[in-house]
A and B are shown apart, each in its own frame.
Chain A
Amino acid sequence: MVIIQSVIECCHVTKSYVRGDQEIPVLRNFNLSVPNGQFLAIMGPSGSGKTTILNLIAGLDRPVDGTIRVAGTEVSRQRETELARWRARHIGFVFQFYNLIPVLTAAENVELPLLLSSLSKSERAKRVRAALELVGLGDRLHHYPRQLSGGQEQRVGIARAIVGDPTILLADEPTGNLDREAAEAVMTLLRRLHRELGKTIVMVTHDPFVADYAETVLHVDKGKGSSR
């Protein structure tokens, strides 16, 4: 029997990018352990590797060295197709620029991840409505992204991220494009998801005000992390 103590474990992870003939190191011997149900904020200056950490956890990128185990799966060794299926089941992603599909309504955007499941149409509709009501947009189901404010768009993005009930929620600068009021609303929502639904959340931010919503803050600089 395998006991999962941490939902995310990064062990001795090294990551670098090659630009032309130059190799740019981003993470060096990076270690991270996130217990199930934790709300972790990762802070650090630009280029410190914050987003790279999220991409590695989500299996969107691969480390040069080290292992990354997420929700019981060693993502650094999975094939692309397996990773896609795993991601659909375990990862919800919230982006800085919302990244909603402009030609789909709020409800349709939220429904997107469910198209990959075997749920019936009515079951999908039920879940979409529940997710949008949870983020306070039950009355905006048929609005297109262009008809929503930035804060509303981000809340639709959060609804899309949680509609499949993923194990982990990854948020990359979720308030980076919002004003203070909208940012507070989004962060309140994320904290609610963590407290009421027990979601594990890993959030990247450079804003200390936003980081205060998290339980734990990890500072990353020059590819190394230190917790507070």
Chain B
Amino acid sequence: MRRYNIFYFFQQAFKGLWRNGLMSLAAITVLLSCLVLMGSFSLLVYNVNVNIEEVAQLNEIVVIAELDATDEQIAALSEEIAALDNIKEVKYISEEEGLESERFRYGEYSYLVDDIFENQENILPDVFKITYEDNSRVANLVYQLGQLDHVSKVNNRTDIANDIENIKSGVSFIFVWFLAILFVISIFIIINTIKLGVESRNREISAMRYIGATNFFMMTPFIIEGIIIGLISAGLAYLLQTILYNAIFNAMSNDYKMISVTPLSEVQTYLILGFIVIGVIAGILGSAISLRKYMKV
């Protein structure tokens, strides 16, 4: 069986790109814009999630032990808390440490604390400050803590945890839809670009058909053309994204230290891979769809 020369297909694809220069440029520009938008949005969502996680980590549950609990009972309670699921860290604050903390809080008026609590015992309860692993399972943890012996009260901010979870789900939902819409727009643009290229060569394609060209032979250069458009767009999008992101990163690092921005080096592999995959898929799909009606027998 005769084999086609792969170099011929690449040569035709590059010729096609060159011949339809303006349209190729338009397709690359639009795909590049879509990729940068996708990239920017992905990075934004990623950073929002990172910051949300950080806020979530500030959340802690405060378990207040009964005032009359003995040291042995407190020790047992500490072990029981540590053994629970979803516990990240347990910090024990004794009565003395609690008083110290109060003195610190009152600063120059700390003598008031001493005046109030002077000569009194068991004024402040022992306290456990707990951080947890998973926001979504906080309610369960709070319930388990409340069931333990010698626990007087469990203070927590489940409402904040729930809000954070809701924000994360909402952001992810918008993210997926936004990406999908941008992807469809990219494909639509490529379809039209390749279609113009195919239409301008319709006479040629019809002559090829009469000569006995297979659909594979006719389609391959156009598909390669789509892949090249995708790759060029991905490369340029990555460059542009890097410039944009680094500029934002530098600005945010200097001015808004409260917000943490992930350095690009941490996500660049995913970013370039994402651009290449999306660019190439958009290129192939765009070419294939636009060629469909021309590939009749």
A binds B: no
Chain A contact residues, CB within 8 Å of chain B: none
Residues of B near any A CB (own CB < 8 A): none
